[in-house]
Copies of this chain bind each other. A is one copy, B any other.
């Protein structure tokens, strides 16, 4: 299939396909001797994957990383996508509810706080929690969330990042050293937290905001969980000495 046909089928523009080729995200399997791109059925399946991830707000760079992983598993990807699509749908439901609520508030029927006016907009409800819950059990996640309660939202964001990393690990061979190490450290982290006072943990949150070395390690889609954990614990230990 040539570009236009693919474009029509998938709803993206020809330019988009060119772009995806340029950045190596979707390289057509063939070329005519005139240099025309030829897409295979496999290419179409990949495009489908790409579009799912795109709809979920993943940056193209990240999508490429995901697809390029040798351990990339289509079935697992679909499952993750379904969960995230559902989360997004729930978010839309929340926004619809917010509209209805706003209308009633405007009608004088109910009171509404400013915070409520933005229900559904903040993405604090994190799509990875279910993921983590399934993988590492309710107890661990609950304990983590318990600690999150009462912390300022900046740390919340940090936790979202952690969940992100955990979800990412699904696409790594679970038997691999990297995965085992990360999971081990995650548990160690949680357990160690149990020994510290809430104030100490709150300090970690401040650090997340203040210390650039720390923050840099959490930056979106950056280094792996293991490295982040190592740094976090190192800094944490230093600070508390």
Which residues of A come within 8 Å of B, CB atoms?
8-11, 41, 44-45, 48, 51-52, 55, 74-75, 78, 81-82, 85-86, 88-89, 92-93, 95-96, 99-100, 102-103, 106, 114-115, 117-118, 121-124, 153
Q: Report the minimum CB–CB distance from A95 to chain B (whole Å).
A: 6
Provided the pairs A85-B96, A106-B75 are in contact, do residues A117 and B55 lie with their beta carbons within 8 angstroms? no
Partner of A74, one of B86, B106, B123: B106
Q: Tell me which residues across on chain B come within 8 A of A89, comparing CB atoms.
A: 89, 92-93, 96
List of 9 A-B pairs having minimum Cβ-Cβ separation, nearest first: A11-B122, A89-B92, A10-B118, A11-B121, A82-B99, A85-B96, A48-B117, A78-B99, A51-B121
Q: Tell me which residues across on chain B come within 8 A of A41, comparing CB atoms.
A: 114
Q: Tell me which residues across on chain B come within 8 A of A45, comparing CB atoms.
A: 117
Partner of A11, one of B11, B95, B96, B118: B118
User: Chain A interface mostly helix, strand, loop or mixed?
Assistant: helix
Closest B residue by C-beta to A11:
B122
Provided the pairs A117-B45, A117-B48 are in contact, do residues A92 and B103 lie with their beta carbons within 8 angstroms? no
A95 pairs with B55, CB closer than 8 A: yes
B95 pairs with A78, CB closer than 8 A: no
Q: Tell me which residues across on chain B come within 8 A of A100, comparing CB atoms.
A: 82
A118 pairs with B48, CB closer than 8 A: yes
Q: Tell me which residues across on chain B come within 8 A of A52, comparing CB atoms.
A: 95, 99
Q: Report the minimum CB–CB distance from A99 to chain B (whole Å).
A: 5
Provided the pairs A51-B121, A82-B96, A86-B96 are in contact, do residues A153 and B8 lie with their beta carbons within 8 angstroms? yes
A48 pairs with B102, CB closer than 8 A: yes
Q: Knowing that A9-B118, A82-B100 are A-B contacts, what are 10 other residue pairs whose CB atoms are under 8 Å apart, sorted by A's residue number?
A: A8-B153, A10-B118, A51-B118, A51-B121, A52-B95, A78-B103, A81-B99, A85-B99, A89-B92, A89-B96
Provided the pairs A48-B117, A118-B11 are in contact, do residues A85 and B95 lie with their beta carbons within 8 angstroms? yes
Q: Report the minimum CB–CB distance from A49 to chain B (whole Å).
A: 10
Q: Tell me which residues across on chain B come within 8 A of A99, comparing CB atoms.
A: 52, 78, 81-82, 85
Q: Tell me which residues across on chain B come within 8 A of A118, comparing CB atoms.
A: 9-11, 48, 51
Q: Tell me which residues across on chain B come within 8 A of A44, comparing CB atoms.
A: 114, 117
A-B contacts, 18 of them at CB < 8 A, read A9-B114, A9-B118, A11-B118, A11-B122, A11-B124, A45-B117, A48-B102, A51-B121, A52-B95, A55-B95, A75-B106, A78-B99, A78-B102, A82-B99, A82-B100, A85-B92, A89-B89, A92-B92
